[in-house]
Amino acid sequence: MAAVLTQQEIDALLAGISAGTVEVDQLLKEQPKQILPYDFRRPNRISKTQLRSLQSIHETFAETAAYYLLSRLQALVSISVVSVDQLFYSEYLLTLSRPSCLYVFELQGAERSGIIELSPQLALLIVERLLGGDASTPPQKARTITPIEQAVLKGVMEHLLRVLEESWQMTAQMRFRLLRLETQPDFLQIASASEIVVVIGLQVNVGIHTYAMSICYPTFALEDVLSRLERPQVVHAAAPEQQRQSMLVMYKHLQTIPLEVSVELGRTTITVGELLRLKVGDVLRLDTPVTAELPLLIQGQYKLWVRPGRIGERRAVRVIRPIEPEEIG
């Protein structure tokens, strides 16, 4: 930071210049020159304010998408935005793995497309979890996903696109439609090689493992909304409404989370000897009267008093009242 001269120093400097004791040319040579590099081949099509707006939009997407994947995968999931970059489309293709998992989506209303890229390991993990596998297993080696795995992933990707639409809603009415899956970046041409694209880099944490994900927009696909991204109030003034929308989306996803419900029929105490002598057909006498209310547990927590019964050929219970904390010893 440059030093600020006092009035006495300014007067002394002017007096020295007038007297010839201070050389002006020498002072100018001593000033450091600030040279900023500029690449004329890569003009910045997106301003810093617009990049910050894009980051805010996709942070909302990351938060909501994480809640959705948490409910579907039944595993701890977090997603964060790690970068918002401008690249040549040819450079973006070079950053992609081979094979890859590239979902091409259309911006409806125009002949423009974008890309959602999942690392193959993340795609395989999602398939494994949806089919009942374990999220704690180490990441699989990258490979091309099969047609069956593609069918499993399609529903997930369509939902993520709807979440992306909702994240854009406070800025612009964007509509996305899933088009196809590509596994080889060389066959993917949504823009010319010299076109500037905006790449949103995301980090997905599932359990203890970390995976990569990215969203790519050609700049010409965002021409209609760039002016709206330039206004700072889009990011700040819309934040409370975005939070409300996120809460509604999270509430909707929470409603689909499965919970384990069980009814405690009663308790009894037996010795180890009696346990060892048990055989098929033996009857254990419980401490619950036939007319007593039974506790219903949700995820192992006592919640409701119920009475057993039947509906047709199925066993069922009727809810009587909530369980008060002091009623459970």
Q: What is the DSSP string of 139-159?
A: PPPP-PPPHHHHHHHHHHHHH
The token pair at 202 is: 């995301």
Kindly provide the b/e burial profile for residues 85-122, where b requires at least 16 CB atoms within 10 angstroms of the residue's own CB.
ebbbbeebbeebeeebbbbbbbbeeeebbbbbbbbbbb
- Written as tens digits, the pLDDT of the chain (329 aa) is 455 667 777 777 777 777 777 666 666 565 555 655 655 555 567 788 888 889 999 999 999 999 899 888 888 899 999 999 998 998 999 989 888 899 999 987 667 899 999 999 999 999 988 888 775 666 667 788 889 999 999 999 999 999 999 999 888 888 899 999 998 888 888 888 888 899 999 999 988 889 999 999 998 888 878 777 766 544 444 456 666 766 777 777 777 788 889 998 888 898 999 889 999 989 888 888 888 899 999 888 889 999 988 888 888 999 999 988 888 76
Helix (H), strand (E) counts: the chain? 10, 10
Domains of the chain: 48-254 (3.40.1550.10), 261-327 (2.30.330.10)
Distance of CA 99 to the CA centre of its chain: 23
pLDDT on residue 233? 43
Contacts of residue 114, defined as CB under 8 A and 6 or more positions apart, other chains included, come to 104, 105, 107, 176, 190, 215, 216, 217, 218, 221
Biggest CA pair distance of the chain: 118
What is the rounded distance in angstroms from the CA atom of residue 93 to the CA atom of residue 87? 10
Angle between helices 147-168 and 120-130 (to 10 degrees): 100
Give the per-residue pLDDT at 238.
46
Strands (E), 183-241: 196-206, 209-218
